[in-house]
Amino acid sequence: MRFSVDLAKVEAMGTMPPYSVDAIAAYEKLGLSSEDRLYYQLVSELSLGSAAFKPGSHLCVFGQPVGDAYVVRQGELDVHTEGLSYRVGPGAVIGLAAGLADVPHNMTATAVTVVTASVIPIFKALKAITGCHPGLRGINRSTVMRVLNLSAVPESLK
């Protein structure tokens, strides 16, 4: 299974609030997948900053501390982890799991084309996670542990 976003469908949504009645109707009308909906909701979040990276720039480097996570809006990146390499594009989330677990980056992500991304400051993400409903915090904890293949709960998510 491959994660992908249909940018044409997402762009057809326009600029309506992602949780409005109109947006929910448009999701159905346009046939947006769950990946398309998640991407639309993330890029519609006006409180996030944005950044642009030229080809060859690193969004993150293996072993370095995580300050920000990124949601790729446009462009492509080559990602290298221990023993695995792949290419990602719009909708990819870089550095969030490692940042929430308070561990160094587990990958190096390099822009292949010009990349624009929404920026998620890790301190804000951690504040949101620690202040949310315990059930949602548990879902986040489980997801981070699965993504990073952790056997113990990180202190930051207890």
CATH number at residue 114: 2.60.120.10
**Amino acid occupying residue 3:** F
Question: Has residue 103 been placed in a domain?
Answer: yes
Same domain, 85 and 32: no
Same domain, 18 and 82: no
pTM: 0.80
pLDDT tens track, the chain, 158 positions: 455 788 888 889 888 888 889 988 999 999 998 888 878 887 777 678 899 999 999 999 999 999 999 999 899 999 999 889 999 998 899 999 999 999 999 999 999 999 999 999 999 888 888 888 888 888 889 989 998 999 999 988 88
Question: Has residue 1 been placed in a domain?
Answer: no
Q: Which residues contact 82 (CB under 8 A, 6 or more apart)?
A: 62, 106
Residue ranges of the alpha helices (H) in 7-153?
7-12, 21-30, 34-43, 96-101, 122-130, 134-148
Structure tokens at 130: 């620690």
Number of domains in the chain: 2
Same domain, 61 and 134: yes
Same domain, 57 and 133: yes
For residue 147, what are the domain limits? Answer: 49-157
